[in-house]
Structure 1
Amino acid sequence: MLAYDLYTQSIRRFGAFFVLLCLSLNMATAQVSIDTVLYAGPTCNGFEDGEAQVFFSGGAGPYTITWSDGQEGEVAVGLAAGSYSVTVADDLGTESSASFEITDPDPITASGELTLPVCPDDSTGVISLTIQGGTPPYEIFWNNGDMGPVLSDVPPGNHFAFIIDALGCLLNQQFVLGNNDNVPPVIVAQSAVVPLNPVTGTVIMEPILFVSMVTDNCQIDGVNVAPLQKDCDDLGPNTINIAAIDNSGNITVVQVIATIVDITPPALAPENITVTLGTNGTVTVDPDLLSGASFDNCGIMALTLDDNTFDCSDIGENNVMLTAVDGSGNSSSAPAIITVVDNAPPTVVAQNITVELNANGQVVIAPSDLDGGSTDNCGILVLEASQTTFTCDDLASGDPIAVLLTLTDVNNNSASATALVTVVDPIAPVISCPDDLSGDFCQIFLYDLPTATDNCEVEITQTQGLGSGSVFQFGTTVETYVATDTYGNTATCSITITVNNDFDLGAEVNHVSCNGLANGSIVLNVSGGTPPYLYFWSPSGPDNLSSGIYMVNIFDNIGCETTQTFVVNEPEPLAVEILAILDATNGQSNGGFQLTVEGGTSPYSYEGASFDDTLSVSELAAGNYSFTLTDANGCSIDVSLMIDNINSSSEPHILQAFSLFPNPAKDFAMVDIQLQHAALTQVSLLDLTGRTLQSWPPSETDRQSLRIDLDALAPGVYAVKLEVDGETVVRKLILE
């Protein structure tokens, strides 16, 4: 560098040692001081190749030199434009600093004057450069290989100039050269009717469909149609935009009408089908079932059949014509075959029946007898039953016979159901017994057994009598035989065997005198037969009998027997019902009673007096009475009752305040007391003997209501006694 070179030359010129000695002498005597800083900036704008060198004097070495960018030493290199400082410090602690500014050279700039071509493919463009900055002179290189400040005869596009100044600084400058075409294309177009593709149902809007000519001053880059595609949804008039663009980007747009039409009829490929009749014997066919692979570019709008309803008369193959119509009214037809089948079995309704065997022991039915209203959509052809003949053997189990009824229709479909056939035998057997027999003494009788006939098997059993070969006793014996057939029908016949009995039996029955005693007896007087006789009583006899039924078997000396039954009776037990008790008043003998007697044997007696069933006694004083009633057989019953005394002075007042209800009573009775003033009262329940059955504690009151429970008492006559301050009244209570 210049400063450094000068310094070096100065040292060389004066000799190193001398200069160093002089410096040493000066440093020892003076402070270090920067004399000057020499620097050079970057060679090109933005570069970092600047340099600086510091010159100083004084102070004492060694020295420390520090630059603001961190470098050390007398020379700093690699400097970019900017502000810097340098500091020199000596060994004595003194220092000196200096600042300086490094600047960039002006950058290289280039501008171009452009001459544009008219059309994009013309090569008539010119670029003329104007260069500033940097360090002239300049060298200029173009990307197409040309050199110099003017580039000519080039087409539109990107062009690059590489500019190098005298110091080798470089500028790469791009120039975009357009063209000067602003004339749009000219389109000649017309509306058109455009059919859809017969397969896809679409159409591409090609320009050729509408455009007859397109012109431009330069070159047409393309002609486009929007929308590009139409389909079945666009049938009818549609506005179409046609755009032409030239290679300069100029665009012209015109509109035309594209009338989209579908002229393709459906393509039919019918599928033959098989249909089944319904339960009503008909079937209606949906034409869609025959569509098969039929197709239309815009879809089939409707399918129809020339005949779509079939019944039982159409069983088998039926030729039909399938017609398809699309949305544009295009139509086509094709033949197809519909095979009608009947797969529906009959609906079997089996009915249970009861049949009667005839005189031959059998019955034959027709299968229709088991039909309870079976149906079929096309008609029933055959009815069959698994069993149609029934005999006596079908009676054995006693259960109905399960018969399978099978129906087959005219199209050979079949179904079955079970019916129950109940076989009955209404014919009773015919049984015949031999003639009646008779004899004059006990003996063995032999007779022919009965015979029987029936439409089924029959069995004869004896239900009454002794049977042939038995010893028959005196009297009439009925031999009864029953013929029973397999079904349980019966017929009966009888043989009467009469053995004349010369037994003469007389008897006297002495009945029981009183209820519950065992003093009855039966006295027999037997004659005839061959004495002596044996007597066998059941259950006992003939004396000390209670009431009941007694039987005696009497055998004579040769074993002949006669039997007699007797009934020993007894009277009903004696029972007394007190009908009324009349209490005495004021101590007089004006009381009495009335009663009735049931059971025993009338007439009855009371203290020697006889009466039929009702006894009335009067003129009795108050008191307890006990007596015995006797019937005609000497049977007796004891009776006790009480006649009370009523003070007549208090009776009206107390009786008026004393209510007893209900009377007669069943389960309970109510006592109601309503006195004119409070008094000491007590209520008691007595039987007719005067015995107290129940009493309630005395209470000082003028109002009282009591409930008498009668559930535990036997029906009869009772007395309810009310005591009021020592005065007594009694009311009779009848319990039913």
Structure 2
Amino acid sequence: MKKSFINLLLFHLIAISNCLQAQVRIPFTQRTSSFSPTQSIYSINGDFTMIGNTNLTLQNYSNTDINSNNIMILVDSDANPSTVNSSSSTLTFSTENGANPSCSKVLFAGLYWTGRTDDNVNELQKRSVKFRGPGQTNYTTYIASSNNINYPGDNNMYVAFAEVTTQVQESGLGEYWVADMALTTGNGGPTGYYGGWGLVVVYENSKMKKRDITVFDGYAYVVGGVAQWELPVSGFTSALNGNVNTKLGLIAGEGDVSILGDKFEIQKLNTLDYLLLSHGGNAETNFFNSSIFTGGNPRNPNLLNNTGMDISMFTIPNPSNSVISNGQTSTTFRYSSTQDTYIIFSICLAVDAYEPVVEGFLSTLSVNGVPTSSEDITVLPGDEIQYKVQIRNKGTEAVNNARIEIPLPYAAIIYVGSSVNVYPPAVSTSLPYVDASLGANGTLIWDFGTLPLAADPNSVLGEIIFTLRASEDCELYRNFNCSAPSVEINGTISGIGANTGFSVDDQPFYVGFSLIDGCTTEPLLGPFNIAINSSDWVNTNCPPGDDIRDFTYCNRTTTIPITDVLGFYPVGTRFFNDNLTTEYTITNPFPNHPGPLTYRAQLPGSSCILTFTITITNINTSPSITTGTLSYCLNDIATPLTATPSNSSYQLFYYAPSSSIAQPLLIPSTSVAGDFIYQVAEGPTSTCISTARVNIPVQIKPLPSLTISPDILICAGSSSLLTVSGANSYQWYPATGLSSTTASSVTANPIITTTYTVKGTSSIGCTATKTVLVNVNPTPTAPVINVINTSSSVTLVASNYTGNLLWSNGATTPSITVTASGVYSVNQTVNSCPSPNASVNVSLLVITGEVTNPSCNNANTGSIITTVTGGTTPYTYIWSNGRTTKNNVNIVGGSYTVTVTSANGLTASKQFILTNPPVLVAYLNCPVACFNQCNGQATVTVSGGTPGYTYQWSGPNGYVAGNVSSITNLCPGTYRVTVTDSRGCKRIVSSNVFQNTQISINQIITPIACQNQCNGIITLAVSGGVAPYTYLWNNGTTKNNVANLCAGTYMVTVTDNKGCQATKAFTLVNPAPCSLAGGRIDDGFNLYDVNVYPNPTNNILNININAVGQSQTNIRITDLLGRNLVDEAKELSDGDNVITYNLADYAAGVYLIYIGNDTEQRLFKVVKE
């Protein structure tokens, strides 16, 4: 089975090797629905699913046998005697994110059936199959067209396809049966016979993830032994963040369960390496193995070995997005076979996707001006239906180049008109237009521009309101001889994400919400369908005809796509040749043949088949125009262009300047001044327009450019000159307060604020207007001055004002403080208009003074000498310290206030501050002297006063010293110093020099234990002086004890915290030799090496004995009185033996440790601190 994966957006399979092209008999293309033939990618919230089964199995069934050289029999499971073969599979939908499967909507359903037969089965038999859904008792027969897909196929392996979207939409979820396929039983030789079917369903549900889904089919024939082929896939856009899930679906024929060597792989991200793929029903080295792996849905029969039928649906492994990354747009598949022979014919791909989220919501507003109140609407031919489409941006980025396209429906070909509304923050100045050449009946287009992000994603950014008239075309109604036509309206939005650059490709409009219980929040996509009650109207207004619709195309050089015809028929209509054997699709257009050729249109959901013809002809006639150049002023409201066709049955088509878009209705734009050439052509239909166009000149005249005086503000009673220029004549209004109403310069003197408008007319008759505002401000009232106090200064406070103040001294603050007599005034300015002045006369009593500060702190040597001006003498004085003189003298530092009263009753007060110099502060420090020595000292520290200090010292026994701050070599006693600053201020302080106690050195001596040993210890106990102490021995030791001493004299110097010292010497004598009964000690000790540590010790004592071989030793610990504290034997092993004793319970002192045996011992002396 050769799997050929097609470009997910582009519509073609790129073959990499010549071998691949030789094997792909029918190129893989994107399969589209007859309900949406131009939609090759389903960018939806939803998914696809596959179901299917086998209709042929082994006579002697085995899970491992293959159909090669084995007898095959029919599967017939439906208990229906009328069928010869049948099988079923149950359709289920996902519950992802809480989705209700019953609310999911089927967008596409395609049925594939395949098998290998002998030569006795003809093509028509292979193209025929029976199909029924849940709740149906009768089968529906489908006959695939001769080009769907391949007959008889390589090695008689055929594949057929039929779209069954309508039946699956109506039947819903449940068990589907396929019966009476063209199959051959018996022994099929080395290849064998097989037969089965698969159903591909694409569905949407708003609660599910966003995915890009594409269905491909073709016919790839793979013969074992060919190495491998690559299948590049591009065009999808995976999700921008998070894990990317990619779902793959395959249907293939003639893969065998036990023949190994067929592989299917996908290229890893940013590498040339490939990942071998598999699912729960196959293996990496036997991918096509007759397994049906479709999620565990029920099947009848439910066989493990489906003898040549492969259907698989699984998620491609993508750990940490190592295969498909965020924002990826392409990948490559690779497949191979070393033994097996198979065909691949159906491939589906669904990728977690991202695209900007835009929404168009279509609804009806009225019919013939009457508001609509029901979704069940019926109209008559000629009725006018008004629609509204609201546009929203519900994504996370703005969308540029937003475009709304609304194909005009087949039953409402008359476009009446449209209007638009744009709401903030969106901005759009473009207007809708109809492109008659786009689609069968033309397309209404609104190039909106940029759809910004609104604060509320539900905010409407724009809406288009348009009106269509139900067709009065008798040919249309006669052609629909077995089905009543309806008005089907739909549309799409497209654009490009402003940040990501990812495109929105033709997002369909929503038209409402589901009416199914439990699904009322599920939005419904278009079309919006309105029934036409046409029977009575046709009987009254339409003459008899041949019931055949004729499509005429002019000047055609290419094939005719079905999009040129499908707009004249309901959504879902399928098109065939005259004998219904060849289907015309988006990938198989109508041929370009002069005709007329007869074709058939099969309406959806019924057996109604309509006949139409296609004729290709040439037309070069042109319409006539009756007017010369059309003339408008800039921004005038223009009327639609008009012309007269040369044939009354022809339609008119208009073209904007330099445009190839044919529009049945065109209103010239007047937004830009200049000369423009519009064109008009004629033809019987929008698909048949003459190449001859007639020019329609349109002149848009510029408006006069008026220049007018700027807005002005005047005060009541004044006037201003207003001027205008840029036109030939003028008209001012209103006339109130103006010196003229027609001059270019007028004097305005209005009583109240007035807006004047002037209309200027140019020499070519175009007018423009400008306005100017003359704002009249009334004269404000004068402020009120409030006098706060009358003394040496006065504060004047303005009140009763609203504008800006200006005082006579130039201040602009609400209040001023004045210290000089005189007249002061203030006014206010409101809107540039000043008020009258308010004035006040100020007379002040002013006190000044000269201050002398005290010479020393708290000395009464300060004074205040005052001077008074203003008022009338004599003055009286009252000071805060009770004095009544003009001057206040011989005072200490502090605050003094004087109140002066003049003879004419004016009173003023003033405060004076006398500042004391800093207090002179002295501190005397006298450290102690050593015992019985004159080595004391005294230091004075001074602050405050006035620097420039002098010193005089005195002490015991007539001691005196001169001008220094520190004295030394002092004997114990009391010392006094007199400090004088530069102002003569003095401070006397005294202190004592004391004598320390004498330093006393006591000792504990541990004598040497044995002759010539160095284990003596001297421990000191010091008192007197000032602790702490430091020690210095003549052997360099700096501790209070020394150990391991040999015989000799030792001297120590002790220094206390004040530097006082004491010295003492000690002598250790060499004792007589020591001896032990039964052995010797130390001398010649050769038993083993011994190390005792630490020494001195606080608690823990370690004895390390390095023995040679195993042995035993005695350990004895005594105090200096010979009392045994430890006496025990220890077993020794070869090497180091560490024995630990805890001396925590022993008193501080010296202990003897004996180590050895009865003949040899070694003595250690240890100090316990």
TM-score calculated relative to the size of structure 1: 0.30
- Flag the structure with more relative contact order, 1 or 2, with Cα contacts below 8 A and sequence separation at least 6: 2
TM-score calculated relative to the size of structure 2: 0.21
Structure with the higher fraction of residues in strand conformation: 1
